[in-house]
């Protein structure tokens, strides 16, 4: 099963994240005696939405493919990163609002291509990078992912070997 972040979903997330900028722009406009619907505020909001949309497109990890044999991710360069389920020590979805897939491998030498220490933490968005806790941990932001996070949890539960 493949989990991805389609363009329309990225756009919806970017718009929802950008909406709180409108009241801030209104307060700033009122404080300085300008109407809140100035062209500069609209340009600022549009720039924020477009920037976040592009940022989501550059996030590593998706599309994520789960097969019976392995987990396949896409890294920050667009290359495939693949590991067998037997090599996965931890596979879980964390977070209630901002869902993140956390994978930790037993043997980084079995990951194709071989995973270096702290390698995944050196890339991706700042919030994901700052939360890497173990040297061979992979974190994938699931914002705007389809199918649902619940479906991903069910697929992981079905495929993870009993430990």
Q: Per-residue pLDDT tens, the chain, 163 aa: give them.
A: 888 888 887 788 888 888 887 777 777 777 777 665 566 777 777 888 888 888 777 776 788 899 999 999 887 777 888 999 999 999 999 988 888 898 899 999 999 998 888 777 655 444 444 567 788 888 888 888 889 999 999 999 999 876 5
CA distance 80 to 98: 24
Q: What is the pLDDT of residue 126?
A: 40
pLDDT of residue 154: 94
Q: What is the pTM for the complete model shown?
A: 0.73
pLDDT of residue 46: 81
Pairing of strands 80-84, 88-94: unpaired
Q: What's the confidence (pLDDT) of residue 15? A: 84
At 145 the pLDDT is 87
Would you kindly state where each structural domain of the chain is located, as residue ranges? 2-57, 64-159
Give CA angle at 7 (3, 13), nearest 5°.
90
Say how far residue 27 (Cα) sits from the centre of its chain. Answer: 31
pLDDT attached to residue 72 = 92
């Amino acid at each position: 099963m493949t989990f991805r972040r389609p363009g329309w979903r990225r756009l919806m997330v970017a718009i929802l994240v950008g909406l709180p900028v409108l009241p801030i722009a209104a307060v700033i406009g009122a404080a300085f005696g300008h109407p809140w619907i100035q062209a500069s505020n609209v340009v600022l909001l549009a720039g924020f939405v477009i920037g976040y949309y592009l940022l989501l497109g550059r996030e590593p990890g998706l599309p994520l493919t789960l097969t019976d044999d392995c987990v396949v991710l896409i890294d920050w360069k667009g290359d495939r990163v693949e590991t067998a389920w037997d090599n996965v020590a931890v596979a879980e979805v964390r977070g209630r609002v901002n869902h993140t897939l956390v994978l930790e491998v037993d043997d980084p030498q079995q990951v194709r291509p071989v995973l270096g220490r702290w390698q995944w933490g050196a890339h991706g968005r700042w919030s994901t990078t700052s939360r890497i806790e173990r040297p061979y941990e992979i974190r994938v932001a699931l914002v705007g992912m389809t199918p649902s996070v619940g479906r991903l949890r069910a697929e992981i539960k079905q495929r993870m070997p009993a430990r």
